[in-house]
Structure 1
Amino acid sequence: MHLSSTPARTPSDLAVAVASGAVTVVDLTAKLSASTPVLPLPEGMAPIPRFELEELAKYDERGETSYQNGIHTGEHVGTHFDAPCHWVTGVEHGDVSQVPPERLVGPAVVIDKTAEVAENADYLLTIEDVQAWQREHGPLPKGWLLYRTGWGARSHDQELFLNADGEGPHTPGVTPECAKWLAEETDIIGFGVETVGTDAGQAFGFEPAFPVHSYLLGAGKYGITQLQNLALIPPTGALIVVAPLPIVGGSGSPARVLAMVPAAGQEVD
């Protein structure tokens, strides 16, 4: 049985497969720290606060047996989840606390455009790209489409990651036509990327501006960003777990994202 089509027959089957090594758990999450890159927003929009730890106690007079911190961060920092209400088009589809848990677990497929992005940092995924992938691998699942661009290798450095000049950031994304098509003509639950946001760096100039946000969140679908290790995920066959905090009223949340992948040469029965 293939992970991308149906889950294991019982939860214990999956547990045995993980314990035996037949299924590998791959962490797709970037480490979260004060150096995590943050997207500078256009003039007129409130800036996203960086992640910070505030030490509250560390085995001292503030708490001799404990170590604990306060956390200060924006919702959309590091590997994070975009809830529909993050965008004005998705207000009616709810906040991050209202996402049904069954929509946070599902099959994931990967479309790889690292070669194209290596030649053109502003490369945009097209409908034709996705349709060509489908001809080779089959239809998109009722799950997650992950967009591999190689950009995760830049995430240790803010300047390299944002890749900005006088025209703004230059990072890969999706054409407006493809974003609309993914939102309206496919069964995907959400869209995941390695970049700082689900839209291209130059998407502020598109029509509509930031079309992945506008169309997918407007359709009640989700985004996940700043993913790592997509090179370890096959085009099909993975099961993904997306775990944002259920923040009441939240437009998103930092998230731990895990993928379960059949080990090389293994079938999960």
Structure 2
Amino acid sequence: MKIYDITRDLSEDVVVYPGDIRPRFREIDNGQYRVTEMALGSHTGTHIDAPSHYVRGGRTVDRVPPGVLMGPARVLDCSDVDGAVDAERFADCLSGTRTLLLKTWFSGRQRFEPGYPALSLEAAGLIADAGITCLGTDTPSIEAYDGDGSVHRRLLESDMVILELLDLAAVPEGDYYLVALPLRLKGADGSPVRAVLYERDAKDQP
């Protein structure tokens, strides 16, 4: 069974969205064992946006059922897209899909680039109305750098969750199983995740 680790290394060099917390790590050695002091944000590295990230009173990360982040997932290759990923891109891939991951040219990039591909508001509405429960992207945000929050709100108001800053560089378009579990941070709006994909067995194909 082939497994793809689609999580970026969580280090001081990870891509950080402008204004977010730059992670810091300090090793403490007391002579018998070592521990590491960490400072990082809830949206550092590969992470989940819970509905409460934008929706007042929305579901917090500890209230997201684990099953939402485990199960069949479809990877859609959008590597040829510059700018907005429009609704037309999703015409034939939403039926029967619960989790959708968008692969763009940003996978593998090591520095923030404000022109990363992002979802259009029309596409966000189409995806939300289709009943998608988990939407992922390999970019720093599902929304354009100059966005006003409308895309996030349209998605999160439907009670879906968003995964951002995945690394899908080595993953071909197709159907997989996803596991992307966050820390159970009480009342938090997000959390780093460890995300992996593995290939679906032929007997599991629809």
- Tell me, yes or no, whether TM beats 0.5: yes
Q: Work out the number of aligned pairs and report it.
A: 204
Q: Does 1:182 align with 2:182?
A: no
CA contact (8 A) 1:172 1:201 kept: no
Deviation at 1:109, TM superposition (A): 0.7
Paired AA for residue 63 in structure 1: G
Q: Does 1:247 align with 2:182?
A: no
After superposing on structure 2, the runs of 4+ consecutive aligned residues of structure 1 that deviate more than 4 Å are none
Could you tell me the percent identity over the aligned residues? 28
Counterpart-to-counterpart distance in 2, 1:188 and 1:85? 17
- Among candidates 219, 224, 227, match of residue 158 of structure 2: 219
Q: After superposition, what is the alpha-carbon deviation per residue over 1:234-263, rounded to whole angstroms, capped at 9, x for unaligned? A: 322x0101111010011100110011114x
Paired AA for residue 154 in structure 2: Y
Instruction: Give the aligned partner of residue 108 of structure 2.
Output: 153
Paired AA for residue 82 in structure 1: D
Counterpart-to-counterpart distance in 2, 1:140 and 1:79? 26
Counterpart-to-counterpart distance in 2, 1:171 and 1:229? 15
Instruction: Give the aligned partner of residue 99 of structure 1.
Output: 64
CA contact (8 A) 2:121 2:150 kept: yes
Q: Does 1:115 align with 2:80?
A: yes
Instruction: Give the aligned partner of residue 50 of structure 2.
Output: 83
Q: After superposition, what is the alpha-carbon deviation per residue over 1:143-168, rounded to whole angstroms, capped at 9, x for unaligned? A: x11111120121x2x2xxx22xxxxx
Structure 1 unmatched ranges of 5 or more: 1-22, 41-46, 164-168, 204-208
Counterpart-to-counterpart distance in 1, 2:96 and 2:58? 22
CA contact (8 A) 2:5 2:197 kept: yes
Deviation at 1:140, TM superposition (A): 4.3
Partner secondary structure for residue 27 of structure 2: strand
Instruction: Give the aligned partner of residue 44 of structure 1.
Output: none
Paired AA for residue 106 in structure 2: W
Larger gyration radius, structure 1 or structure 2: 1
Structure 2 unmatched ranges of 5 or more: none
Q: Does 1:139 align with 2:95?
A: yes
Q: Cα RMSD (Å) of the superposition? A: 1.7
Alignment of 1:195-214 (within 5 A): 195-203=139-147, 209-214=148-153
